[in-house]
Amino acid sequence: MNIIIVEFILYCIVILGIGYYFSRRSKTHSDFLLGGKKLPGWALAFSERATGESAWLLLGYTGFVFMTGLSGVWVAAGIAIGIIFSWLFLAKKFMNETDKYNVLTLPDYLAVRFGQKAKLIRWLTGVLIAGFLMFYVGAQMAGAGKMLFTTFGLAPAAGVILATIVIIVVSIGGGFISVVWTDMIQSIMMLITLVALPIAALIYINTNDLSISQSLVEAGNSYNSWFGGLTGFAIGVLFFNNFSWFFGFLGGQPQLSARFMALKNNKEANQGSTVAIIWTFLAYGGAFMIGLAAIAMYDQGSFNDVEIILPTMILDLFPAWFAGILLAGVLAAIITTADSQLLVVTSSVSEDIIHKALGIELTEKQLVWISRLSVVIFGLIGMTIALVSESLLYLVVSWAWAGVGCTLSPAILMTFFWKRYSSAGVVATVSAGLLSTILWISTPLEGIITSKFTTFFIALLFGVVFSLVMPDNKEKVNTISAKEAL
């Protein structure tokens, strides 16, 4: 156990050191929020994948597969297809639109692009992002508490506080540049964990004459079926509930889209696509196999919290020195996602609301310091949520995914690919997505059909209807957009 503690300390020192080094390179507000278009495509791809997959993948999804069996594959399928689609069809579009409109954030882009209702768009998207992503950040910190409790027997609250300190320090230092480079290291560590652990688990299963297929049968009637043993309409519900993660990847996650906006050119975008797609197949294939292997290794009901399965398997299967490295990969997933989301919330406050919506003129230095102060404030709010929340990571992240990703994705898709989309349509899309998510998850309907599915199509419908009923004045739009971009 001592060697694991030493490795954890060394890991945190390295990450904090990288954050300090790159803090000296964030000179402007653009550098702090988007890296000044100076980062290579492969680094942005590692960062995007590490940001997209978090404690949710390593702790939440592996626990979900343990509870559901083969039918859990549709979550991975939906996410993988969404990731591939976004990198192949949206990344270059984001890059080009960022250059065209000279913007730093996703809300900033929508506001400049649809200038007639720019301030209202900034306020709505700012509230949407800050509100839902704070729960996402809290989920990551709660994941840190679970992981440190499993590893060291540390009280979950103490683990949450320690993780919060590291996350805030990394984020407050170099902003986007610091986060991307620390993400790259953490992304590689996550991949090592998700590849090495299923291999070790399969060796253990074979050596001890265990059988995954037999264990799936013994676990329950639904476990050895790709559709959970359901028939008819129930199959469709299961499929859409699990596959619906796909809709949040269609440009609506600002912490992911920021990586696309930071790309320099087509060559870097192509390079990033290759890295991201390979990473996705390895990571999700590994996470799915970990969940299945756990069914063979442990009895159902042997865990009070199924989201500690992965760190438990690591401690059971590896010597202490290697277990420490892999467990640091879990902590990496938590830190890399939380710091990226903190930056997104920070940018919504400093750039979209204070600087643009309120029109407060500040120097570059003042904007950077406001951003850093926002990181501390919202980091502490996320920590508070983690300390008082009793919901599972999988559930909390699912809600945030619906509220932000499945609301903004239809807005981005219509902006990119439908010429008749209007500023009133954007307002209707965001408002409908925000309200429908809150109402849906507050009722028993969430247990029937997930809000990730309903939010996307409700927001899409309202966006289409209001765009047709209230089209923009094209000449006025061009004039306002030109002013907004300056």
DSSP state of 473: -
Q: Please report whether residue 380 resides in a domain.
A: yes
Mean pLDDT of the chain: 82
Rounded Cα distance between 166 and 123, Å, is: 30
Distance of CA 345 to CAs 23, 55, 111, 373, Å?
A: 19, 19, 17, 12
Rounded Cα distance between 101 and 337, Å, is: 27
Residue 74 vs residue 357, higher pLDDT: 74
Mean pLDDT of 257-266: 90
Number of residues that make up the chain: 486
Residue 27 vs residue 290, higher pLDDT: 290
- Which tens digit of pLDDT belongs to each residue from 61-73? 898 999 989 988 9
Rounded Cα distance between 179 and 170, Å, is: 7
Residue 273 vs residue 449, higher pLDDT: 273
Q: Describe the crossing of helices 320-347 and 309-317 by its angle, rounded to 10 degrees.
A: 150
> What pLDDT does 386 receive?
81
pLDDT > 90? residue 409? yes
Task: Report if pTM > 0.85.
Answer: no
**For 327-357, what is the HEC assignment?**
HHHHHHHHHHHHHHHHHHHHHHHHHHHHHHH
Q: Please report whether residue 481 resides in a domain.
A: no
Question: What value, to the nearest 5°, has the Cα angle with vertex 330 and ends 325 and 334?
Answer: 135
Mean pLDDT of 425-452: 89
pLDDT > 60? residue 483? no
DSSP state of 250: S
Rounded Cα distance between 409 and 93, Å, is: 14
Residue 416 vs residue 349, higher pLDDT: 416
> What pLDDT does 474 receive?
66
Mean pLDDT of 316-321: 88
Q: Please, which pLDDT band fits residue 283 given cuts at 50, 70 and 90?
A: very high
pLDDT > 60? residue 484? no
pLDDT > 90? residue 293? yes
Query: Other C-beta atoms within 10 Å of 37: how many?
Result: 16
Q: Please, which pLDDT band fits residue 297 given cuts at 50, 70 and 90?
A: very high
> What pLDDT does 42 receive?
93
3-state secondary structure of 269: helix
Q: Extract the tokens encoding 232.
A: 């008819």
Q: Please, which pLDDT band fits residue 25 given cuts at 50, 70 and 90?
A: low
Asked if residue 170 lies in contact with residue 418, where contact means CB atoms within 8 angstroms, the answer is no
Residue 93 vs residue 359, higher pLDDT: 93
Q: Out of 33-42, 204-213, 305-314, 441-450, give the one with best mean pLDDT.
A: 204-213
What total number of domains does the chain contain? 1
Q: Which domain holds residue 279?
A: 2-32+39-104+129-393
Amino acid at 65: V
> What pLDDT does 59 receive?
82
CA dihedral 477, 478, 479, 480 (to 10 degrees): 50
> What pLDDT does 289 receive?
95
Q: Please report whether residue 451 resides in a domain.
A: no
Q: Please report whether residue 288 resides in a domain.
A: yes
Rounded Cα distance between 471 and 428, Å, is: 12
Asked if residue 42 lies in contact with residue 314, where contact means CB atoms within 8 angstroms, the answer is no
> What pLDDT does 180 receive?
80
Asked if residue 442 lies in contact with residue 283, where contact means CB atoms within 8 angstroms, the answer is no
Lowest mean pLDDT among 93-102, 139-148, 199-208: 139-148
Query: Other C-beta atoms within 10 Å of 135: how many?
Result: 21
Q: Please report whether residue 432 resides in a domain.
A: no
Of the chain, the percentage scoring pLDDT greater than 70 comes to 86
> What pLDDT does 33 receive?
56
Q: Please, which pLDDT band fits residue 397 given cuts at 50, 70 and 90?
A: confident
Rounded Cα distance between 269 and 264, Å, is: 8
pLDDT > 60? residue 299? yes
- Which tens digit of pLDDT belongs to each residue from 235-252? 777 777 778 888 888 988
pLDDT > 70? residue 26? no
Residue 207 vs residue 369, higher pLDDT: 207
> What pLDDT does 27 receive?
56
Q: Please report whether residue 109 resides in a domain.
A: no
Q: Out of 133-142, 173-182, 241-250, 406-415, give the one with best mean pLDDT.
A: 406-415
Mean pLDDT of 395-407: 82
Rounded Cα distance between 174 and 19, Å, is: 6
Q: Please report whether residue 476 resides in a domain.
A: no
Residues 6 or more apart whose CB falls under 8 angstroms from that of 100 comprise: none
> What pLDDT does 157 receive?
83
> What pLDDT does 86 receive?
94
- Which tens digit of pLDDT belongs to each residue from 111-152? 999 988 888 998 898 888 888 877 777 877 877 777 777 777
> What pLDDT does 253 receive?
87
Q: Please report whether residue 165 resides in a domain.
A: yes
Residue 376 vs residue 477, higher pLDDT: 376
Residue 133 vs residue 293, higher pLDDT: 293
Quickly tell me which residue has 């300056």 as its tokens.
486
CATH number at 212 reads: 1.20.1730.10
Asked if residue 26 lies in contact with residue 176, where contact means CB atoms within 8 angstroms, the answer is yes
